[in-house]
Amino acid sequence: MTVRELSLGSCTLQIAEHKHLQDEAGAVIWDAGLVLVHYLAHQTGDYLEGKRVIELGAGTGVAGLTAASLGANVLLTDLPQLLPGLHYNVQANKLTSRVDVSELVWGQDVAHLQPPFDVIIASDLLYDVACIPLLFITVAQLSGPDTVTLLAFEDRPVVVDVAFRELQKAGLTAKQVPETELDPHWQSPDIHIYKLRLTLQPNSTATAANPQLT
């Protein structure tokens, strides 16, 4: 186990990486995750204060823990073998009052999680083409008309092409976060953040509850 210290504006997180696990991909911090957490910390105001946030494929939990440090109530989810590491990082950062941990397999029923959430975090999850349809089905199941999903990923051309087809099939739309909104010290031309939303029905009168997240 190695511990990385991340300074994020007003807070510092201690994130343990468990590189000995068989599923090492989910047990370390990847570059898109770093761009995302610094994007969150770079935003002004209390836009996450009191919001219900869920992180999918949380891995180390770094993005969800960042959201919790900014005032959100967070649920970190992943496969069973990664849950002990998530619990460790929650406790190490003294965020147990704001963060819960739960197993979640994409594509399975999510009713027990009591959707919709205000914000869904999906960071560095676009690498296995076979899993992508289930990922976006799950995002749609967890979403309501005002939900914003933050999708952060590194360019992998074939995988990304599949992802955008599948998110549309799941009834989601995507809009890229401009580079000007990212932390100027934490961005890369091959890493992107998109905001996803459920497609509103033609007769819907729903409006965004969080203009800061639009």
| Cα–Cα dist 124/154, whole Å | 7
Mean pLDDT score across all residues of the chain: 90
Q: Is the pLDDT of residue 203 over 80?
A: no
The secondary structure of residue 46, as a DSSP letter, is S
Domain limits, the chain: 2-201
Pairing of strands 191-198, 172-176: antiparallel
Please tell me whether residue 51 adopts helix, strand or coil conformation. Answer: coil
- % of the chain at pLDDT higher than 70: 89
Residue environment code for 99-128, b if the CB has 16+ CB neighbours within 10 A, otherwise e:
bbbeebebeeebeebebbbbbbbbbbbbee
Nearest to 48 by CA among 193, 165, 178, 148: 148
Q: Which residue has the higher pLDDT, 8 or 150?
A: 150
Helix H, strand E, coil C: the string for 18-44 is CCCCCCHHHCCCCHHHHHHHHHHHHCC
- The residue with tokens 């891995």 is 59
| Cα–Cα dist 152/126, whole Å | 9
Per DSSP, what are the bridge partners of residue 150?
121, 195
Q: What is the mean pLDDT of residues 159-164?
A: 95
Task: Locate 214 and state its tokens.
Answer: 């639009």
Nearest to 56 by CA among 135, 172, 161, 116: 135
Task: Locate 121 and state its tokens.
Answer: 């975090």
Pairing of strands 119-123, 148-154: parallel
Range scoring the smallest mean pLDDT among 18-32, 135-149, 172-186: 18-32
Amino acid identity, residue 165? R
Q: Which residue has the higher pLDDT, 156 or 121?
A: 121
Q: Is the pLDDT of residue 212 over 70?
A: no
Q: Please, which residues have CB within 8 angstroms of residue 130's CB and are 6 or more apart in sequence? A: none
Residue length of the chain: 214
| Cα–Cα dist 91/27, whole Å | 16
Architecture of domain 2-201: 3-Layer(aba) Sandwich (3.40)
Residue range 60-103, pLDDT digits in tens = 999 999 999 999 999 999 999 999 999 999 999 999 999 999 99
Pairing of strands 52-56, 119-123: parallel
Q: What is the mean pLDDT of residues 139-150?
A: 97
Nearest to 150 by CA among 171, 178, 189, 122: 122
| Cα–Cα dist 194/178, whole Å | 9
